[in-house]
Amino acid sequence: MCPAPTSIFSKGHTINKRNYPKRSSYLRSFTFVLFLILFLWILLQFIAPLAIPPGSTEDFSGIVIFSDNKGSIETFGFPWNLLYSSGDFLCHQKSERSIIINENQMPFCARCTAIWLGLVIGLGFIVLYTIQLDEKFIIALLIGLIPIGVDGFGQLIGLWESTNLTRIITGLLIGILCGIALGIIIDEIKTLKVFKFQKVVK
């Protein structure tokens, strides 16, 4: 008779002791380091508008993949210029869709900021737990895409104008799921035995 799994997920880097072994120390360290990098990244995003003079950003609205505000951003000191340059290139930075702190826009819009935060939360979850990549998680991920898809599409075709609260909630949801998915992918690398080397017998 086969023993029943301990739980769907459990603290201590295992779900089912029989089928899902503890992740290797290398991958565990890599996941934790990646978590720390993303944690620092989102922390600096919240500090950035406080670190520059009030009213420095004015209106940074622009187009994705274009540096629309390069002149203004270059006056910021490091690392704040790097953060705002990243937002300038990767995000539309529309002022009405951004979180305002210290009379300054954050480097990314409200939804993008929530996605970054969600990635940190999701990856942090994987630091503590191991989750199996199966059809249940894939279904959960697809369901998690629905709110941001509906909100974004409805706004695009003019059915409604989303609020920053809605943008934060939908962004946080998909960010958490993507953070967990990223952690699962790192865990799955272990099954490929990429980091195992066989000892040569003479």
Q: What is the chain's length?
A: 202
**pTM of the predicted model over 0.85:** no
d(CA 164, CA 143): 21
Does residue 191 surpass a pLDDT of 70?
A: no
What is the structure's pLDDT at 134?
Answer: 75
Mean pLDDT of the chain: 81
CA angle, 188 then 189 then 195, to 5°:
145
The predicted-structure confidence for 109-138, as pLDDT tens digits, reads as follows 999 999 999 999 999 998 888 777 778 888
User: Phi first, then psi: what are they for 14, rounded to 5°?
Assistant: -150, 150
The predicted-structure confidence for 155-181, as pLDDT tens digits, reads as follows 888 788 888 899 999 999 999 999 998
What is the structure's pLDDT at 63?
Answer: 84
d(CA 167, CA 170): 5
Helices (H), 4-109: 25-51, 70-73, 80-90
d(CA 73, CA 56): 9
Q: In sequence order, what E strands does 40-137 have?
A: 100-101, 104-105
Q: For a pLDDT cut of 70, what percent of the chain falls above it? A: 80
Between 10 and 102, whose confidence is greater?
102
C-beta pairs of 132-136 under 8 Å, 24+ apart in sequence: 132/15, 132/16, 132/20, 132/184, 133/184, 133/185, 133/187, 133/188
Per-residue DSSP letter, 95: G
- Kindly list the domain boundaries of the chain, sorted by start residue: 25-192
Between 20 and 152, whose confidence is greater?
152
What is the structure's pLDDT at 147?
Answer: 87
Tokens 């539309």 -> residue = 92
Does residue 189 surpass a pLDDT of 90?
A: no
Does residue 153 surpass a pLDDT of 90?
A: no
User: Phi first, then psi: what are they for 111, rounded to 5°?
Assistant: -70, -45
First to last CA, the chain: 42
83 within 8 A of 44, measured Cβ to Cβ: yes
Task: Tell me the mean pLDDT in the region 4-28.
Answer: 47
The predicted-structure confidence for 52-100, as pLDDT tens digits, reads as follows 999 998 888 888 888 888 888 989 999 999 999 999 999 988 888 999 9
